[in-house]
Chain A
């Protein structure tokens, strides 16, 4: 009865410097049937934490054809609660089984005192928080026995307590914990609009050798009588202003594997593939410039 559950040969182990797309359950059939011409796939790690069933079976099939990145959303990395050992154990098992080229989590926290908000919450950028994050990233890398990437999040408030900028905090964390950076260009744009900083300053502050992956996604604008707040919703095409910032990021960093994220109100797979092709064209220019 388990002919299908015999592990298939794993596909390529490294991520090409091309565009990839986020794989969601809504697109399982379309991806398996049409094998879209994208360079790699990324999934949310927690969606594969089950002991068995369709998600893992599908992941096994797609893994035979695509390089894979595992992107975590629920570790609550920056929390002052102890790290969730069972969460990490499931992640480690997933890594062992699927041999992803990249494993990432967020520069955020999501729980305290055992209470989870299940959201990506910003940290105060203080020396104390930096020390804490360095320790936590090191713990995770020790348990997983590999380097992870840390992604900058979108935020909707800034703390009076912060003594560092987010970009300095992220660069110092990567430097001192030895993790890589997953630079979310959409998140930089969203936070820059919400907090009034220059996104180019952010881009220039991140050393290019640290950046191993870029995320692109769409945001939503919440309009009020007295202004607007941009929300990172991943339910839209990438905004033209974010494409422009992405071009500048590639000029500054050189070509970097880039993911199109789309997590709710999903369109047809072809729409994501189209966005990925747009990113590929920009990466091609980057390659040409580098040559």
Chain B
């Protein structure tokens, strides 16, 4: 093994796992102790990762307070070490972590607020996609339309929560001062998070029919099954109008037929 590799492992153990004594002999002792010098790197790493979490989870941070957020972040960083040099990939398990983090057990809605923020982060950076190719869709024989599998825009996500997480999120703007007390008993929300043409992120609470329809599409169901699920969820659902609406909004963007004789009608990224 490379000496350099052993040496890097020793440094990492000293900074992250507190194994300082074993590594101290590698550090030139001049003026300050090796402990204090390693502490600078421990701080830098923690600040770098905590800032990444703060950028993705500003509302969770506001809900629990800055000091507690830093404490929770330190615990998260320890349990879920960073696995990439790109900090945008860090923090994916934060909602699951909060769900099992004893000190916030009473804040039952907190993990769902974190899920909303992670979805926002993903939608923010998701790929572009051209609108649905209506002409290609018209070319599908009517008798086969039920087999179509529609897909959502890469920058569209669905989220369900038994808590009013959208109202909680909206009530916690980063610079907000008016805080209104939200009654958790006011109920949950089916939420669509999507990026509009101006690249702004929008939240749309969905009725049962809309949610069932889009959810079925996102899950890869055939259109006939998706329609059935929508009508089961909401008996008075105006399916043709609502489906056209989601196509026009750019939320439903592509489709394919599970048949080699019909190539995938997906124009992908505009060129």
A residues with a Cβ closer than 8 A to B are 1-2, 4-6, 46-47, 49-55, 57, 73-76, 79-80, 84, 87, 90, 109-119, 121, 123-124, 126, 128-129, 132, 156-162, 195-196, 222, 224, 226-227, 229, 231, 264
- Nearest chain A residue, comparing its CB with the CB of B9: A112
Which B residues are CB-close (under 8 A) to A157? 27-28, 34, 37-38, 40-41
Contact A80 B2 (CB under 8 A): yes
Contact B85 A52 (CB under 8 A): no
Which B residues are CB-close (under 8 A) to A123? 4
Contact A52 B125 (CB under 8 A): yes
Which B residues are CB-close (under 8 A) to A4? 197
Contact B85 A111 (CB under 8 A): yes
Q: Which chain B residues in 119-150 approach chain A with CB under 8 Å?
A: 123-128, 130-131
The answer for the CA separation of A260 and B27 in the assembled complex, in Å, is 32
- Nearest chain A residue, comparing its CB with the CB of B37: A157
Q: B3 interface residue, CB < 8 Å from A?
A: yes
- Nearest chain B residue, comparing its CB with the CB of A110: B85
The answer for the CA separation of A51 and B106 in the assembled complex, in Å, is 37
B122 to chain A, nearest CB (A): 9
Assuming the contacts A54-B199, A132-B2, asked whether A159 and B85 have C-beta atoms less than 8 A apart, the reply is no
Contact B12 A112 (CB under 8 A): yes
Contact A53 B28 (CB under 8 A): no
- Nearest chain A residue, comparing its CB with the CB of B29: A160
Contact B41 A51 (CB under 8 A): no
Contact of A116 among B31, B84, B154 (CB under 8 A): B84
Q: B155 interface residue, CB < 8 Å from A?
A: yes
Contact B195 A117 (CB under 8 A): no
Contact of B87 among A46, A53, A79, A128 (CB under 8 A): A46
Assuming the contacts A52-B127, A54-B199, A231-B40, asked whether A117 and B28 have C-beta atoms less than 8 A apart, the reply is no
B97 to chain A, nearest CB (A): 17
A71 to chain B, nearest CB (A): 13
Which A residues are CB-close (under 8 A) to B4? 80, 123-124, 126, 128-129, 132
Contact B128 A52 (CB under 8 A): yes
A-B interface, 4 closest residue pairs, ranked by CB to CB distance from nearest: A74-B85, A50-B125, A51-B127, A157-B37
A164 to chain B, nearest CB (A): 14
Contact A119 B9 (CB under 8 A): no
Assuming the contacts A84-B84, A118-B49, asked whether A1 and B126 have C-beta atoms less than 8 A apart, the reply is no
The answer for the CA separation of A101 and B82 in the assembled complex, in Å, is 31
Which B residues are CB-close (under 8 A) to A118? 45, 48-49, 52, 82, 85, 87, 90
Contact B25 A1 (CB under 8 A): no
Contact A156 B41 (CB under 8 A): yes
A175 to chain B, nearest CB (A): 20
Contact A109 B28 (CB under 8 A): no
The answer for the CA separation of A106 and B268 in the assembled complex, in Å, is 35
Please list 27 pairs of residues, one from A and one from B, whose beta carbons are closer than 8 Å in the complex, sorted by A's number.
A1-B130, A1-B197, A5-B128, A47-B88, A51-B127, A55-B125, A57-B199, A74-B85, A75-B85, A80-B2, A87-B86, A115-B81, A116-B83, A118-B87, A119-B41, A119-B45, A156-B41, A157-B41, A158-B27, A158-B30, A159-B26, A160-B26, A161-B26, A162-B28, A196-B31, A226-B32, A227-B32
Q: B5 interface residue, CB < 8 Å from A?
A: yes
The answer for the CA separation of A112 and B23 in the assembled complex, in Å, is 15
Encoded as 1 (CB less than 8 Å from any A CB) or 0, chain B from 226 to 250 comes to 0000000000000000000000001
B residues with a Cβ closer than 8 A to A are 2-5, 7-9, 11-12, 15-16, 25-28, 30-32, 34, 36-38, 40-41, 44-45, 48-49, 51-52, 81-88, 90, 123-128, 130-131, 154-155, 195, 197, 199, 250, 269-270
B119 to chain A, nearest CB (A): 13
The answer for the CA separation of A196 and B246 in the assembled complex, in Å, is 65
Which B residues are CB-close (under 8 A) to A116? 81-85
Please give 4 more A-B residue pairs, beta carbons under 8 A apart, in addition to A2-B130, A79-B8, A84-B85: A112-B12, A156-B37, A156-B41, A195-B30
Contact A114 B30 (CB under 8 A): no
Contact A114 B83 (CB under 8 A): yes
Of A1, A118, A195, chain B has the most CB atoms within 10 Å of the CB of: A118
The answer for the CA separation of A1 and B200 in the assembled complex, in Å, is 13
Contact B250 A1 (CB under 8 A): yes
Which A residues are CB-close (under 8 A) to B51? 264
A129 to chain B, nearest CB (A): 5
The answer for the CA separation of A186 and B40 in the assembled complex, in Å, is 18
- Nearest chain A residue, comparing its CB with the CB of B195: A53
Contact B87 A109 (CB under 8 A): no
Which A residues are CB-close (under 8 A) to B85? 46, 73-76, 84, 87, 110-111, 116, 118
Of A51, A158, A231, chain B has the most CB atoms within 10 Å of the CB of: A51
The answer for the CA separation of A54 and B61 in the assembled complex, in Å, is 24
Contact A115 B31 (CB under 8 A): no
Which A residues are CB-close (under 8 A) to B82? 115-118
A133 to chain B, nearest CB (A): 10
Assuming the contacts A51-B125, A74-B86, A112-B5, asked whether A121 and B26 have C-beta atoms less than 8 A apart, the reply is no
The answer for the CA separation of A117 and B40 in the assembled complex, in Å, is 12
Of A5, A46, A75, A117, chain B has the most CB atoms within 10 Å of the CB of: A117
